[in-house]
Amino acid sequence: MDVTKTLARRKPIIAITGSAGKTTTKEMIASILSRRCRIVKTRGSFNFVKHTRSYAKQLTKAHGAAVLEYAMTRSGHIRRHCQILRPNYGVVTNVGTAHIGNFGGRITGIARAKSELIRHMRQSGKLFLNADDPNSRLLTTKYFRGRIFTVGIIKPADYRASNIRYLQNGISFQTTLKGHKHTFFIPELGKHNIYNALFAIAVCHQLKFSPELIRAGLKSYRKPKSRLSVYRLRGGVRLLDDTYSANPQAMKAAIDVLSRLGNGTKIAVLGSMLEMGKHTVSAHGQVGNYLARKKIQYLYTYGKLGRLIGSAAVKSGFPLGRVRHVPTKTLMIRKLRPHLRSGATILVKGSNKLQMYEIIRGLKRVRRKR
């Protein structure tokens, strides 16, 4: 008998998929689980099928659980993950437009591919879904024989956040566990991270972790790099590094954080969103339209498709004189230098392939020299 498969049947195998939030949710769950047992978890963002094979080999009797991201770019990928390590706890964070170009431009195609987790996980297991995400209704749950739990902020859910307070160093909120309200804090910015935390709370609560252990794990979890990482520079300047990936949903979430953070000048530096397929123009247009309604003073765009964000913002009423398309990262750093004044907050976000973290590095160097 396959020893790995025998071990996997006896331990919680927690698989996380979704268009956004996989890594943060994984790290939050892992931070809580690690307070009670040794675990195997996805390292960084090494979350494709070949990596799952490696994690399966690492699993031993000494481990209490595995918490893994099951990433996909095409149909069949999640099914292959499940064939290697069949989860008994499944999380679908949301269904968005990431990689939609690989699915004929159809959100139903993405939902069908995400549903492979539901179809191929252990049917006696537990599934966790986002009640507030309209596209999650497209997931195929009809024939799932296990228990389904929901998380949410707006709609009724099994694990629902209330009394949300946005602080300078994170977010506090309450949720009800077994009829009692408990307060939790996450060292994260952005409403979208409340959903990630709710998934972590839900999974760990179902694994019989106490509210105290869950609270401690969330409070001490380590943020993944380049996902709304905040760098505080001299003179009260803040840089928001969200350069790991980009899709319309994630762009809007980052814009929300920028608009809410601080009282000084707010600058958005937004790059192309790749793999949007036939939704390319409309996706960038959505972001530009959304930004125009927020309290942001300047917009800089980068990449061939980034220009579409700027033109859409202007059409929606954003001042033309405050939009700049910059063709190189070196020039972008030079153009942003005058904004490195007291109280300014600069968001830098775009698809990972654009390597826009180099803009963050450049701005940090400039600020040190001043």
Q: Could you give the angle at which helices 280-292 and 248-260 cross, rounded to 10 degrees?
A: 10
Q: Does residue 164 carry a pLDDT above 60?
A: yes
Share the mean pLDDT of the chain: 93
Cα 351 from Cα 134, distance rounded (Å): 24
User: How many Å apart are CA 251 and CA 309, to the nearest integer?
Assistant: 11
What is the chain's Cα-based Rg? 21
- pLDDT exceeds 70 at position 125: yes
pTM, rounded to two decimals: 0.89
Give the pLDDT of residue 150.
98
Question: In which residue are the tokens 């990262």 written?
Answer: 329
Q: With contact defined as beta carbons under 8 Å apart, do 130 and 92 qualify?
A: yes
Query: 199-215 pLDDT, tens per residue?
Result: 999 999 999 999 999 99
- For the domain spanning 3-220, the CATH number is 3.40.1190.10
Exposure string for 192-230, b = 16+ CB within 10 A, e = fewer: bbbbbbbbbbbbbbbbebebeebbebbeebebbebbbbb
* Per-domain boundaries in the chain: 3-220, 229-369
Percent of the chain predicted with pLDDT > 70: 96
**CB-CB neighbours of 183 under 10 Å:** 12
pLDDT digits (tens, 9 = 90+) for 68-80: 999 998 999 999 9
Please write the tens of the pLDDT for every residue from 340-359: 987 899 999 999 999 999 99
Query: Closest by alpha carbon to 117, among 150, 68, 162?
Result: 68
Given this model, what pLDDT does residue 2 score? 55
| 3.40.50.970, 3.90.190.20, 3.30.365.10, 1.10.10.10: CATH of 229-369 | 3.90.190.20
Please report the pLDDT score of residue 367 as a whole number: 61
pLDDT band (50, 70, 90) for residue 370: very low
Mean pLDDT of 43-68: 94
